Chains A and B, each alone.
Chain A
């Protein structure tokens, strides 16, 4: 299906102020979409109440409105401009909500403005837990058992039917406020009361908690012909129970067999195709039982989301840019891969590196805040690192947190004994990854750590490799350090400062740098090219690493 030439001007709605859970990723998607539409000769009008964004720079759109994100502002813009279509999927839930509100008031109809890249009914289904559950049951996708309760007694009855552990999710509250896990009978009454009270309509969802299951996210794109591709598969290192925005995540998925992955891929495609009729991006989350490999669908977001920005950078596939083109009528097979410029945009990126995202929290600035991670997202930002191994990527990520960590394990070094650490890491907190490394250094087994944290053993084994290298390094001074070990440390993401700190005797990072330079152990630069080097890339970007 070619471009719809009746669309000559498009309104893009931004995401407004930066809040936890909705930050610059929507600035990124909005800017990409604006550029993508203008490339097609379409006039782009943009509204955002937040001037501290790239998308509101004068060169990004033909016209920028710095107005409050309200229906009145929308009417004013439609009054002043002839706008053919509105693209509301680039500004997160804020933009979608505003679009819906205007839709209910008949504003779009009044000004003869079409909604593109979105299906309002699809948003409703995705947002309403009960509608979502019913749709999933209808199409044969498993979800966690749940019931909607409107009273305390109902809640207790459903809790008994479903069994512990449970999640209580109040209806119509922002960012999971008032919700929480209930591990046993003794906590139920208080949690139910808190949830019902938090909900403006006195309603909660009582849901079976799949704590400890593995969590995965898939990023999809669909065009009007119903072609669907999976752009990226992201694995959460932290199991279910920690908000994905607060989880350390890895791409591509590290511990997923093809059988499991294809199962997930098929289900995600079925979900997206069953959820209304729209062309654009979509994010689907799954939980996997590590024993049976059974899947349940956690949620679906029929829009460009926080994770699509990460997936774009992780794969090189510009999701928002392509999603905008799909919204104006193109099909995927009519578009080119933006990086190779010769191959098709209808494909699934192949990665030959590992991406690790580590969230950044600022609990020191929120005195008194509870630093336990759970249903509500608490991180204020994130770092993304690229390496030719998980060990390299996670160490680079830790070095980029701007919190003085020179690698994995040298931040706020713990004085706890191993039994204390094992107890401490049972609760997900911001520093858990560092404490896991401390535990391994003290000889706690991979099995124990995996059992108490629910983190897949594979990741713990990898961190153990970092520990073995660190222990080896401790035996040497700069003069006695074997070349092979130095090379191995660099390949596993050790920074020069980290090596200097770990080694026996005094030395500085400059000295480590000089030594490795003299040995020819220097950085090489590799491309993010969407295709694992299969095709030549015209506009790739680069990351540094160490090879033999």
Chain B
């Protein structure tokens, strides 16, 4: 932190105030506060479309150390609404890097605040739960900030997926491949598509509100339901499409929001979690094989465990070892499965990439 940095302020919806220094763009931003415990991969996190609408605390105390690199992204722009850190670094060191974190945030219009006691802040969120917050480096009057914060919409019931979905269809991979995957894009991470293409798939990515008819015109061997931001229960259009897809009796794979939507399409409700799971170290047990995997997670909503357990046609495949939450399900009478975590990782461990192999095998059979 240098002496010349401008002051900045962070105000939480419950009235808590933190004072720090401005970083990135000078301005004001608001959204739902959440924290990520990962120690690597900040650029991938910031560009992950699932973070749309979120103001993110990075628990790791030094962020920006290795600058930014063009290829370490999960989408073309920064998706977080704001950034909170203890030490956000202007100076970086990585020969392959293209620039500093600060320039990157400025170019992407992202307001950030540093010098914050992030540990105290995280403990507060852990106790009180997710809530809205506002960061400003231009408005330093708390009353005025409170008014601005009041205008920030609640994440519960908020539909955001269609705002980050592609507006045009596009294709990736070998056009002559016999393996075709229709992707429903609700904010898909680049590496999910890479993981499919790497396994030989020809992928067509579709806007969120694409009809089954249009998806079928691609003549896919399987359907992929992507990750994305916001409340899955606020997406009746997607739930309806997935119900129709399931009737097609083709392999279906869902990740994160896609997992929640698959559950909703089977009448299993979702709920807003107290403060979500975000990090690269979440322990998951595959209860089919008995083996464990360290997973990347990023979700603020979950599927109702009671409803899953009671459902006659849904089987639990993966469980979280910390809190027993549902991490993976499959349908008993269909080739459809989904996981709450991120097997594509980036950032994070590659322990769960086998799920893409499973999906490919399912489509080949």
Taking beta carbons and an 8 Å cutoff, which residues of A are in contact with B? Answer: 225-227, 229, 233, 252-259, 261-262, 265-266, 290-291, 293, 332-333, 342-344, 346-354, 388-390, 456-458, 461, 468, 472, 484-485, 488, 491, 524, 526, 531-536, 547-548
Given contacts A333-B292, A346-B292, contact A458 B350 (CB under 8 A): no
Cβ-defined contact, B95 with A262, below 8 A: no
Cβ-defined contact, B115 with A353, below 8 A: no
**In this complex, what residue of A is CB-closest to B320?**
A344
Given contacts A535-B322, A548-B116, contact A257 B126 (CB under 8 A): no
B317-347: CB near A (< 8 Å → 1, else 0) gives 0000111000000000000000000000111
Taking beta carbons and an 8 Å cutoff, which residues of B are in contact with A? Answer: 1-3, 18-20, 35, 37-41, 44, 59-62, 65-66, 69, 72, 86-87, 89, 91-96, 115-120, 122-123, 126, 279-283, 285, 290-292, 294, 321-323, 345-350
- Give the distance to chain B from A467, nearest Cβ to Cβ, in Å: 13
- B279 interface neighbour in A227, A344, A350, A456, Cβ under 8 Å: A350
- Give the distance to chain B from A485, nearest Cβ to Cβ, in Å: 7
Q: Roughly how many angstroms separate A332 CA and B37 CA in the complex, as a whole number?
A: 21
Cβ-defined contact, B292 with A258, below 8 A: no
- Give the distance to chain B from A212, nearest Cβ to Cβ, in Å: 13
A-B residue pairs, 9 tightest by C-beta: A258-B41, A258-B347, A344-B321, A458-B93, A547-B117, A532-B59, A350-B37, A258-B40, A461-B91
Q: Given A458-B66, A461-B93, A547-B117, list of 10 further CB < 8 A pairs?
A: A229-B294, A253-B40, A255-B94, A257-B66, A265-B350, A458-B65, A532-B37, A532-B119, A536-B126, A548-B20
Q: Roughly how many angstroms separate A68 CA and B292 CA in the complex, as a whole number?
A: 42
- Give the distance to chain A from B145, nearest Cβ to Cβ, in Å: 18
Inside 8 A of A266's CB, which chain B residues have their CB? Answer: 350
- Give the distance to chain B from A255, nearest Cβ to Cβ, in Å: 6
- Give the distance to chain A from B257, nearest Cβ to Cβ, in Å: 22
Cβ-defined contact, B321 with A347, below 8 A: yes
Cβ-defined contact, B292 with A332, below 8 A: yes
Q: Roughly how many angstroms separate A484 CA and B3 CA in the complex, as a whole number?
A: 8
Q: Roughly how many angstroms separate A353 CA and B283 CA in the complex, as a whole number?
A: 22
- A262 interface neighbour in B60, B322, B350, Cβ under 8 Å: B350
- Give the distance to chain A from B159, nearest Cβ to Cβ, in Å: 28
Cβ-defined contact, A257 with B40, below 8 A: yes
CB<8 Å pairs between A and B, sample of 22: A229-B294, A255-B93, A256-B66, A257-B41, A257-B66, A257-B69, A258-B72, A346-B321, A347-B282, A350-B38, A352-B86, A352-B119, A352-B122, A388-B119, A458-B89, A458-B93, A461-B93, A484-B3, A533-B122, A534-B35, A534-B279, A547-B120
Q: Is the interface of A mostly helix, strand, loop or mixed?
A: loop
- A349 interface neighbour in B93, B281, B321, Cβ under 8 Å: B281
Q: Roughly how many angstroms separate A257 CA and B65 CA in the complex, as a whole number?
A: 9
Cβ-defined contact, A352 with B118, below 8 A: yes
Q: Roughly how many angstroms separate A313 CA and B19 CA in the complex, as a whole number?
A: 32
Cβ-defined contact, A262 with B345, below 8 A: yes
- Give the distance to chain A from B29, nearest Cβ to Cβ, in Å: 20
Given contacts A346-B292, A347-B281, contact A257 B37 (CB under 8 A): no
- Give the distance to chain B from A269, nearest Cβ to Cβ, in Å: 9
- Give the distance to chain A from B73, nearest Cβ to Cβ, in Å: 11
- Give the distance to chain B from A228, nearest Cβ to Cβ, in Å: 9
Given contacts A456-B93, A526-B119, A535-B322, contact A257 B72 (CB under 8 A): yes
Cβ-defined contact, A531 with B37, below 8 A: yes
Q: Roughly how many angstroms separate A458 CA and B63 CA in the complex, as a whole number?
A: 12
Q: Roughly how many angstroms separate A534 CA and B58 CA in the complex, as a whole number?
A: 12
Q: Roughly how many angstroms separate A213 CA and B218 CA in the complex, as a whole number?
A: 49
Cβ-defined contact, A389 with B281, below 8 A: no
**In this complex, what residue of A is CB-closest to B58?**
A352
- Give the distance to chain A from B39, nearest Cβ to Cβ, in Å: 5
Q: Roughly how many angstroms separate A221 CA and B29 CA in the complex, as a whole number?
A: 42
- B280 interface neighbour in A256, A348, A390, Cβ under 8 Å: A348
Given contacts A255-B94, A532-B122, contact A348 B281 (CB under 8 A): yes
Cβ-defined contact, B285 with A333, below 8 A: yes
Given contacts A258-B72, A262-B349, contact A389 B86 (CB under 8 A): yes
Inside 8 A of A485's CB, which chain B residues have their CB? Answer: 3
Cβ-defined contact, A389 with B294, below 8 A: no
Given contacts A256-B40, A389-B86, A534-B279, contact A352 B61 (CB under 8 A): yes
Cβ-defined contact, A390 with B281, below 8 A: no
Cβ-defined contact, A257 with B94, below 8 A: yes
**In this complex, what residue of B is CB-closest to A262?**
B350
Cβ-defined contact, B126 with A533, below 8 A: yes
Q: Roughly how many angstroms separate A524 CA and B119 CA in the complex, as a whole number?
A: 11
Cβ-defined contact, A258 with B346, below 8 A: yes
Cβ-defined contact, B321 with A390, below 8 A: no
Cβ-defined contact, A291 with B281, below 8 A: no
**In this complex, what residue of A is CB-closest to B124?**
A533
Q: Roughly how many angstroms separate A344 CA and B327 CA in the complex, as a whole number?
A: 15
Interface centre among B65, B86, B118, B345 (most CB of A within 10 A): B65
- Give the distance to chain A from B113, nearest Cβ to Cβ, in Å: 11
Interface centre among A259, A354, A390 (most CB of B within 10 A): A259
Cβ-defined contact, B61 with A458, below 8 A: no
Inside 8 A of B40's CB, which chain A residues have their CB? Answer: 253, 256-258, 261-262
- Give the distance to chain B from A482, nearest Cβ to Cβ, in Å: 9
Cβ-defined contact, A293 with B96, below 8 A: yes
- Give the distance to chain B from A464, nearest Cβ to Cβ, in Å: 8
- Give the distance to chain B from A416, nearest Cβ to Cβ, in Å: 26
Cβ-defined contact, B322 with A290, below 8 A: no
**In this complex, what residue of B is CB-closest to A351?**
B39
- Give the distance to chain A from B343, nearest Cβ to Cβ, in Å: 13
- A352 interface neighbour in B1, B59, B291, Cβ under 8 Å: B59
Cβ-defined contact, A533 with B119, below 8 A: yes
Interface centre among A233, A290, A458, A461 (most CB of B within 10 A): A458
**In this complex, what residue of A is CB-closest to B59?**
A532
Cβ-defined contact, B59 with A533, below 8 A: yes
Cβ-defined contact, B86 with A252, below 8 A: no
**In this complex, what residue of A is CB-closest to B20?**
A548
Cβ-defined contact, A488 with B95, below 8 A: no
Cβ-defined contact, A457 with B93, below 8 A: yes
- B322 interface neighbour in A261, A344, A349, A533, Cβ under 8 Å: A344
Inside 8 A of A262's CB, which chain B residues have their CB? Answer: 40, 345, 347-350
- Give the distance to chain A from B37, nearest Cβ to Cβ, in Å: 4
Inside 8 A of B347's CB, which chain A residues have their CB? Answer: 258, 262
- A488 interface neighbour in B1, B37, B345, Cβ under 8 Å: B1
**In this complex, what residue of A is CB-closest to B116?**
A548
Q: Roughly how many angstroms separate A536 CA and B274 CA in the complex, as a whole number?
A: 14
- Give the distance to chain B from A330, nearest Cβ to Cβ, in Å: 13
Q: Roughly how many angstroms separate A531 CA and B37 CA in the complex, as a whole number?
A: 8
- A534 interface neighbour in B1, B3, B37, B65, Cβ under 8 Å: B37
Cβ-defined contact, B62 with A354, below 8 A: yes
- B95 interface neighbour in A225, A291, A333, A349, Cβ under 8 Å: A291
Q: Roughly how many angstroms separate A233 CA and B38 CA in the complex, as a whole number?
A: 13
- Give the distance to chain B from A519, nearest Cβ to Cβ, in Å: 15
- Give the distance to chain A from B75, nearest Cβ to Cβ, in Å: 16
- B61 interface neighbour in A253, A290, A389, A536, Cβ under 8 Å: A389
Given contacts A252-B39, A388-B61, contact A534 B96 (CB under 8 A): no
- A227 interface neighbour in B38, B66, B291, B345, Cβ under 8 Å: B291
**In this complex, what residue of A is CB-closest to B127?**
A536
Q: Roughly how many angstroms separate A256 CA and B93 CA in the complex, as a whole number?
A: 10
**In this complex, what residue of B is CB-closest to A446?**
B91
Inside 8 A of A534's CB, which chain B residues have their CB? Answer: 35, 37, 59, 122, 126, 279
